[in-house]
Structure 1
Amino acid sequence: MRQSVGATDAPEVRPCPECGTEVTVHPWYVTWCAACDWNVDPGAPDPERGRLAQVRRRLASRHGEQLAQEIEQGAGGGRGGPDRSTVLAFGLALLVHGVTVGLCFAAAVLIIGGWHTGIQPVLGVLLLVAVAVLLPRPGRAPSGPAVLYRADAPGLFGLIDEVGAAVGTTGVHAVVVDASVNAGVRTYGYRGRRVMFLGLGLWEILAPQERVALLGHELGHFANGDVRSSFLMHGALRSLAEWHAVLRTVNHDSIVDWFLNALTFLPRWTVYGLLHLLDGLTMRASQRAEYLADTGSARAGSSGAAVALLDRGLLVDGVEAHLRRESMAAARAGGGAGGREEREAAERELWERLAARIGSVPESEYERLRRVSARRGHSVDDTHPPTHLRRRCLASGDPQPALVVCDGPRAQVVAAELAPARALLARRVIRDHAG
């Protein structure tokens, strides 16, 4: 028989080896001491060595704390004007696009003005090919195992519309449901249609009001704007990435390879530097966008639901590990008698078992993960601020009541509309390993 998710041995109590304080031992979770932080972060990554890495970490921490203080004090909590880094980023983005326009103009000159030479039109066509690769493009239409439109899930889209109105924006045109432990929004097409991505690995572990808070956070990115997702900035980052891929080094198998690598050395590293510079200049704006999206989360679902949503986000690794275990358990059962029935049962129960597992996580584990977030602090290349700072900023404002309520009947309607996607994705998760 399959063990029920919540069935664990009674926790033991042992003395901390560092300070002697009694600590609770949960069989499924890290044993640690709340008094002295012994073993609070056993999986901490080794810090990058070198003086430059230390300087970058200090700058990231200082700038991150400064931004959090601005948000708490209200200086960075509105739309306001762009800061200096954002202005410089847009200037750099315009320069990148200017290079693309210049290449297009040069291609036209070579093709039209040098037609009689024979070789110049060929060079012009090659430049046009490069321009075609570098031109910014709108996102593609949504695709995936489960794409929902308004006619497919009127209850879900009605909830999204109401949340959008609460945070000061409109809803979306499509919802892509997948098995990830994530959620997000973007636009697609030349008309800028909106699509929301809902990962069931995250959705299924949330309470109804926490789901409202999640929708508020994602739609908050549309309400407040996000520099990195703008057409101009996204196109510039993409162009630089394409240039870097084109100029990448080749194998040193011949003298020609050595010559090509030497020829592209300077432009390759110039493009690499510009890519990282543009990424760094937009990092602060991206982190501010996350704080502003958190305010949308609190406004729509309530401050308590927004904070609970942040805590759930700390369990991403645990959710992914649980889904892998379920898949591998079904794979092992598939070879024996009754294997097909085992797989079908695993598919039917997958999301319920996941919700039950996460529902049994003790408060001590949440506290440990919050302390881990605080200890690790800011990453120099992370667009999301640390969870402990986001919680602190939410707590600094007045408590927000929920503007949108997802009660029992409404939650049941949304669940019924998502049922086909749940079944399809559960089957895919289980059969990733079960074959």
Structure 2
Amino acid sequence: MPSAKTDTATPVLCPKCQSRLVSENEATPWCARCEWNLDHFPAPQGLNWVLRWLYVRERRLGFTSGTGLVRELATGRARPTLRLGTAVLVAVSAVLLLLPLALLAGGVWLIAASGGFGTQIILGLLLIAAAYWLRPRVDRLKDLKHDTYPLSAERQPELFALIARTAAAVGAPMPDHVALSDEWNAWVARAGVRGHRVLVLGIPALVALSPQQTVALLAHELGHLGNADPRRRLLTRPACTMFAVLARALRPPRKDAWELRVGGILAVVLAAWQVLGGALCRVLYSAHIGMNLLAERTHRRAEALADLGAAGAAGTAATLELVADMAMWPVIAPVVDGRTAPGAAQARWREGLAQARERNAERAPRLLQLSNRTDASLFSSHPAPGRRHDLLKAAPFQQAAVVVTPEQALRLDAELNPYVEALRGELAKRQRDFELL
């Protein structure tokens, strides 16, 4: 795709289709019709030419990756499969897990063979400590529940009934733990050794969405559970984290022997460490970057598949509305604040959000398309909202399998309202604390 070389060279009309160029937030203009110049990425100031070249190249590859993902999945028939990238990550993770096991075995053997207190025991204890430090880690349910409001089927029967209907529509298991948070977000995870399924929904997002968009949000997150995405992330986590851990452990100090006031054999050891350890750190960090590039590509595909599953449960129309609304969240989010009177937050916020959407209705398509530039990165775990929107439009249209009636929507609002008021109180407190600074 051709693009302008500099901002000053950008014409008023698109040289490909002669449409008038558009822009948002002082971004470099692009063609909304054919996306000419949408892949223009000015490098940040202060970088040398190598870093500028790498930045622009990485962004353009991310842009190309997004368009390629749409072409790959646009038929709507794609299913989660064990792809080459995932297979490599799982294999590397399995090999890396042998390292702490080897350290543990070596430490135990040294202690058992020592015959008494001495250097072997100290070395064995150090190896065991290193094995503990490099051990594989899983998310703890206690940590995932931090700063959230736990829900239950007894207190929120309508919400849990909707979750059950949506889970059945996407072929996913019911989550073991459901909670609300104060984020403009929603996510699922597996926690603990037993793999508890966790679903967390953001209160602001639930207030901002229509009932059918809420179904699309639930279907998307539950689709991750049905596709075993959290489990896959757990299996590939060592490959994505351990190279960086090892690099940090081997990184030599930046100060030289004179600055650290060491001499003799210590100065020689320090110099060797800085040369060999520095080179090894670069190799390990390069491996870390490579593993995460593979992982994020897998994650973006998983997000796109979850969108297609959401369209089957909530309907293509509602899922398109949800994705388009996400591109507007940074613009309309300031409406959700603590200045609303107690007891009226849910109604006032929805009224304010509707007005904000109306004020920015003319900008909405440009903001959605601009996300294809701003969110284009090989290191992004999600496709840009614009690409997700393109995929849903290109895939076969689907009617909703799960529909929320007006009566059910009212009961859902009633169950959500106490938590909306709790969030309003927290936001009001934060605002008061800020004004006192």
TM-score clears 0.5: yes
C-alpha deviation, 1:151, in angstroms: 2.8
- The verdict on how the C-alpha distance between 1:140 and 1:351 changes in structure 2, with shifts beyond 3 A counting, is farther
Percent identical: 26
The CA distance in 1 between the partners of 2:111 and 2:155, in whole Å, is 51
C-alpha deviation, 1:294, in angstroms: 0.3
Match of residue 35 from structure 2: none
Amino acid at match of 1:52: L
Amino acid at match of 1:409: E
C-alpha deviation, 1:301, in angstroms: 0.8
Amino acid at match of 1:401: Q
User: Does residue 37 of structure 1 match 2:43?
Assistant: no
Match of residue 79 from structure 2: 78
The CA distance in 2 between the partners of 1:276 and 1:237, in whole Å, is 8
User: Does residue 433 of structure 1 match 2:435?
Assistant: no
In the TM superposition, 1:214-253 aligns within 5 A as 214-226=217-229, 229-247=232-250, 250=253, 252=255
The CA distance in 2 between the partners of 1:383 and 1:92, in whole Å, is 20
1:201–1:319 CA contact under 8 A, matched in 2: no
Query: For structure 1, which segment, 247-256 or 281-290, has the greater mean C-alpha deviation from structure 2 after superposition?
Result: 247-256
Match of residue 159 from structure 2: 156
Amino acid at match of 1:254: L
Amino acid at match of 2:210: A
CA offset digits 1:49-74 (Å, max 9, x no partner): 53333333343333332222111145
CA offset digits 1:249-279 (Å, max 9, x no partner): 6573624699365564244333322221110
The CA distance in 2 between the partners of 1:390 and 1:317, in whole Å, is 17
The CA distance in 2 between the partners of 1:241 and 1:423, in whole Å, is 42
SS of equivalent residue, structure 2 residue 199: strand
Match of residue 144 from structure 1: 147
CA offset digits 1:289-341 (Å, max 9, x no partner): 01110012111110000000001110232244444xx45xx5xxxxxxxxxxx
The CA distance in 2 between the partners of 1:84 and 1:375, in whole Å, is 27
**How many pairs are equivalent?**
388
2:43–2:52 CA contact under 8 A, matched in 1: no
The CA distance in 1 between the partners of 2:349 and 2:126, in whole Å, is 52
User: Does residue 368 of structure 1 match 2:366?
Assistant: yes
Q: Structure 2 regions of 5+ residues with no counterpart?
A: 1-10, 29-40, 45-50
Match of residue 300 from structure 2: 287
C-alpha deviation, 1:248, in angstroms: 5.0
Match of residue 116 from structure 2: 116
The CA distance in 1 between the partners of 2:148 and 2:87, in whole Å, is 40
The CA distance in 2 between the partners of 1:398 and 1:114, in whole Å, is 69
C-alpha deviation, 1:394, in angstroms: 1.2
SS of equivalent residue, structure 1 residue 230: helix
Q: Structure 1 regions of 5+ residues with no counterpart?
A: 1-17, 21-33, 331-341
The CA distance in 1 between the partners of 2:403 and 2:96, in whole Å, is 46
- The verdict on how the C-alpha distance between 1:187 and 1:400 changes in structure 2, with shifts beyond 3 A counting, is same
The CA distance in 1 between the partners of 2:189 and 2:298, in whole Å, is 17
C-alpha deviation, 1:122, in angstroms: 1.8
Match of residue 339 from structure 1: none
Match of residue 106 from structure 1: 106
Tell me the TM-score normalised to structure 2 length.
0.79
Tell me the TM-score normalised to structure 1 length.
0.80
User: Does residue 51 of structure 1 match 2:45?
Assistant: no
User: Does residue 417 of structure 1 match 2:415?
Assistant: yes
Q: 2:391 aligns with which of 390, 393, 397?
A: 393
C-alpha deviation, 1:96, in angstroms: 1.7
Q: 1:315 aligns with which of 324, 328, 332?
A: 328
Match of residue 66 from structure 2: 64
CA offset digits 1:136-172 (Å, max 9, x no partner): 2332112324121333322211111110110011121
C-alpha deviation, 1:43, in angstroms: 5.1
SS of equivalent residue, structure 2 residue 221: helix
Match of residue 208 from structure 1: 211
SS of equivalent residue, structure 2 residue 58: helix
C-alpha deviation, 1:377, in angstroms: 6.3
